[in-house]
Structure 1
Amino acid sequence: MVTTSPPSRHLVLRNANFRALWISSTMGILGGSVTAVALPVIAAVELGASDFAVAALSGMVFLPWLLFGLPVGVIVDRRRRRPVILISLIARVVLLATLPIAYWMGVLSTAQLFVVSFLAGLAAVYFTLAEAALIPRAVAKDELIEGNGLMTGSGASADAVGRGLGGWLTHAVGASNSLLVQVAASVASCAAILRLNVEEPLPASTEKRHIWREMGSGLRYTLSTTPLRVLLLVAALWNLGGNIVVSLIVLLVVRTLGQTGTWLGLLMAATAVGGTLGGLSVKWLADRFGSGVVWRYSMFPAAIGYAALLLMTPGWGMLPGFFGMFLTGLAISMNIVVSTSFRQRVCPSGMMGRLGSATRMVSWGMLAVASLVAGILASTIGVRAGIVTGIVIAVLAPVVASFGPLRGVHHLEDLAPMPEDDPAHESPADSGRGTGPAAPAPEDLDADEARSRENGEAVLEK
């Protein structure tokens, strides 16, 4: 049930359900950030893995999105989301606890790192989709940008603290031991979710609904309109190029520049600090300049930030990288908030899991592909040349956003459908402005997809 109070109170204070999701998400990101720093350091320093393995390892947590994102989205839509979150958190605690235990026993291996990263990533697929589907039920539609901004901003703050803490812990107590932070953070997330009291109606009977058909409905809806297609293409391009860069940062800092894990953690924390400021300021910027403008142009400074990594040298020469990663985090968090809020605005509740899974299968699946590509680039043309390649690919994203079909859209919210009882509402056949493909016959759509098609077709094409 959506609960609202007078807008003078902060959303975290006035909405207990949002507060529970906010605490759970923030704690999860804090622990995950420590792990994101620790895992490649374990591979590079404690296990002496190859350049390819170090770069490819960061993609294992995202590979489940590419392989299982669609079916998991269907499963999430068929079940109440709160139990899904709890089960996924418990699974993550058990999986990650095996790594420090194996280290203490002297049997930790690179293969185990890859397996645990993959399975923990699969648990994260369930958690992320269920959490995203609950946010629109916890807040009103006009609170989505505020809520997502707070989630992104506080998440980025936790990310900054986690990465800085992770960098210090890898040096102080060892990279494997630092994974215990995520174990504790996941337990705290569980405690917060247990306080969640969102009303979730029992899903409709699935006896006559086939998982392959529902997977197809989510993918078709994700590609059904120009705004959704363009947002997906832009995200995929950015994640492919950007994560090539991110996957090579560990090798650049630890092996090319010869710096410790502490420097790596601080560099990654700079991104999160920028993300905090971006998440907290995006609502003001979107109101002043338009969410469409923020979405289009935020990625140009983000690419410049990545390019600053190439200017780094040992010691104080690391400063250009810190400034660059801060700028990247600032800009990208704004882009994420406005694009996520648009998808949540137009998508029916019963379709949220499938939309999220189909979107992330492509966009987050690119993160896994990027890590594998980064490993190949590092082994063939070198770390710096690989970073340049990633930047060139990433720049294609803002180019498509700025010169593509949405180039003239000032507010993304203007592309959302009008209520059916609004006398100004027109169907695509009446207005000639529909941007999706020809609608399937009604018998080919389930109820959620039919409503989604109505939402998706009522958009503008520039």
Structure 2
Amino acid sequence: MRLGLLRDRDFGRLSAATALGQLGDRVIFLALPLVAIAALRADEFHVGLMTAMTSAGSLLVGLPAGAWVDRMRKRSVMITTDLARALLLLTVPVASAAGILTIWWLYAIALVHGVLTVFFDVAYVSCLPHVVGRGHLVQGNAKLSAIRSVTSISGPTAAGPLISLVGAPATLLVSSAGMAMSGLLAITMRTREQKPESSERPQLVREIKEGLKFTLQHPSLRAILAGDAIFSLSLAMYQTMLLVFLDREIGLQPSGIGLVFSGMGCGALLGSLLATKLAKRVGQGPVIWMAPLITCPLTALMPLARADWSVCAGAIGLAALSLGGVVRVVAQSSLQQALTPDRLLGRMSATARFFSWGGIPLGGLLGGISGSAIGAAGTLWIGAAGMTLSALPTFLSPLRRPPRP
């Protein structure tokens, strides 16, 4: 892949910070649930509840976060939240070593970490147009997705054996270090956006309503929100039981689970390499609905798997899910950023995240309840069907066809 924007000093540092932060995030994604499943022997419902707590921040502060971030410099928000998350994650191995780690401790960590991540992600999405300019959004999003994909491969690949060697709680030290280094790198960026002008008496409710009104009244943005909400709820149900299925029904060791998730990273990397070309050839709008419609049905291969070669077929289905997910996210993120004026970027991003991630706590709870009632495999079937149906809102919108020249 050509260097392009990577030659730019600030984009290069943003990319490096992204790589380190994403590495930490991928380790968390694997290690935190395994702390509950393996170290604390949590049942299906408690694993689902932890998934809900991880994403509950989107419901608690999702909409206000956009208004608050629009009043601040995005880079400062990214630095603060990265360093705070690093310190927070350190408490898990410390509590484990002291023998005081409980499932309630993990719930608290998941909740606070999720709230901080809401602020980071809103600022991160809003920061990119200031760093690369609006004319390079697709290229910038594609390159950042490629970097995230590489860490999605290396993170689980390294985390699996590390968990087997030192245990899941101690592995979170890697996550903490990654977050801290990401924040320190962001400090060295030279780009200084102008501090947003704020009125003497900011009207939080009015500002939130303005962001909601803009996003919900735009037919393309509204369709993206609806598709994301269905996809995220279904994905949360699927992912909540995926680790349980691999650990307890297939009998994979942490190293094997890490390889499965590394396969997903490979799919994501391929998707990031194809995203720009597909968006240009097919059109940003059609790519947004075609990607899930083509790739999500393949996730049904995993609940068919047994403790043999069929696990590889299931892993290929997950890799396809990641490929389609990255292609879709690059196209729709670039479109959302291009359609939104600078002063509303934070609120648009927060609104999108609220509708997308707001369904994850419900999906986590439903996944836990469904797993307890019909088993992990049955829940995976439901999640696969829901993710496939998420293509409908964008298919039935103006995004169905590329815009006329």
TM-score (norm 2): 0.96
Q: Which moved more, 1:17-26 or 1:41-50?
A: 17-26
Instruction: Provide the residue aligned with 1:303 in structure 2.
Output: 296
Instruction: Provide the residue aligned with 1:92 in structure 2.
Output: 85
Partner-residue secondary structure (3-state), 1:60:
helix
Instruction: Provide the residue aligned with 1:445 in structure 2.
Output: none
> Deviation string for 1:189-228 (max 9, x for gaps)?
0221011122311221232321111111111111011101
Residue 9 (structure 1) shift: 5.5
Instruction: Provide the residue aligned with 2:401 in structure 1.
Output: 409
Partner-residue secondary structure (3-state), 2:15:
helix
Answer yes or no: is 1:130 the counterpart of 2:130: no
Instruction: Provide the residue aligned with 1:318 in structure 2.
Output: 311
RMSD: 1.5
Q: Distance in 2 between the 1:260 and 1:114 partners?
A: 24
Instruction: Provide the residue aligned with 1:343 in structure 2.
Output: 336
Instruction: Provide the residue aligned with 1:458 in structure 2.
Output: none
Query: Which of 1 and 2 has greater Rg?
Result: 1
- The code of the aligned residue for 2:236 comes to N
Instruction: Provide the residue aligned with 1:179 in structure 2.
Output: 172
Check whether the contact 2:246–2:252 (CA below 8 A) recurs between aligned residues.
yes
Residue 88 (structure 1) shift: 0.6
Residue 268 (structure 1) shift: 1.6
- The code of the aligned residue for 1:254 comes to D
Instruction: Provide the residue aligned with 1:397 in structure 2.
Output: 390
Could you tell me which of 243, 251, 265 is aligned with 2:244? 251
- The code of the aligned residue for 2:82 comes to L
Q: Distance in 1 between the 2:170 and 2:69 partners?
A: 33
Partner-residue secondary structure (3-state), 1:106:
coil
Check whether the contact 2:293–2:389 (CA below 8 A) recurs between aligned residues.
no
Percent identity for Structure 1 against Structure 2: 27
Q: Which moved more, 1:164-173 or 1:233-242?
A: 164-173
Partner-residue secondary structure (3-state), 1:48:
coil
Check whether the contact 2:284–2:335 (CA below 8 A) recurs between aligned residues.
no
Q: Distance in 1 between the 2:399 and 2:222 partners?
A: 14
Instruction: Provide the residue aligned with 1:11 in structure 2.
Output: 5
Q: Distance in 1 between the 2:37 and 2:400 partners?
A: 46
Q: Distance in 2 between the 1:304 and 1:165 partners?
A: 29
Answer yes or no: is 1:352 the counterpart of 2:345: yes
Residue 183 (structure 1) shift: 1.0
Residue 399 (structure 1) shift: 2.9
Check whether the contact 1:301–1:328 (CA below 8 A) recurs between aligned residues.
no
Q: Distance in 1 between the 2:391 and 2:195 partners?
A: 41
Q: Which moved more, 1:24-33 or 1:389-398?
A: 389-398
Aligned length: 404
Instruction: Provide the residue aligned with 1:24 in structure 2.
Output: 17
Check whether the contact 2:44–2:241 (CA below 8 A) recurs between aligned residues.
no
Residue 257 (structure 1) shift: 1.6
Check whether the contact 1:232–1:362 (CA below 8 A) recurs between aligned residues.
yes
Gaps in structure 2 of 5+ consecutive residues: none
Answer yes or no: is 1:292 the counterpart of 2:292: no
Instruction: Please list, as runs of the form range in 1=range in 2, the aligned pairs for 1:432-443 lying within 5 A after superposition.
Output: none
More helix by share: 2
Instruction: Provide the residue aligned with 1:188 in structure 2.
Output: 181
Q: Distance in 2 between the 1:213 and 1:346 partners?
A: 21
Residue 32 (structure 1) shift: 0.8
> Compared with structure 1, are the counterparts of its residues 381 and 39 closer, same or farther at alpha carbon in structure 2 (3 Å cutoff)?
same
> Deviation string for 1:19-73 (max 9, x for gaps)?
1211111211111101110111110111111111113323322210111111111
Instruction: Provide the residue aligned with 2:357 in structure 1.
Output: 364
Gaps in structure 1 of 5+ consecutive residues: 1-7, 416-462
> Compared with structure 1, are the counterparts of its residues 408 and 253 closer, same or farther at alpha carbon in structure 2 (3 Å cutoff)?
closer
Partner-residue secondary structure (3-state), 1:26:
helix
> Compared with structure 1, are the counterparts of its residues 69 and 336 closer, same or farther at alpha carbon in structure 2 (3 Å cutoff)?
same
Partner-residue secondary structure (3-state), 1:107:
coil
Residue 407 (structure 1) shift: 5.3
Check whether the contact 1:305–1:326 (CA below 8 A) recurs between aligned residues.
no
Answer yes or no: is 1:220 the counterpart of 2:213: yes
Instruction: Provide the residue aligned with 1:72 in structure 2.
Output: 65
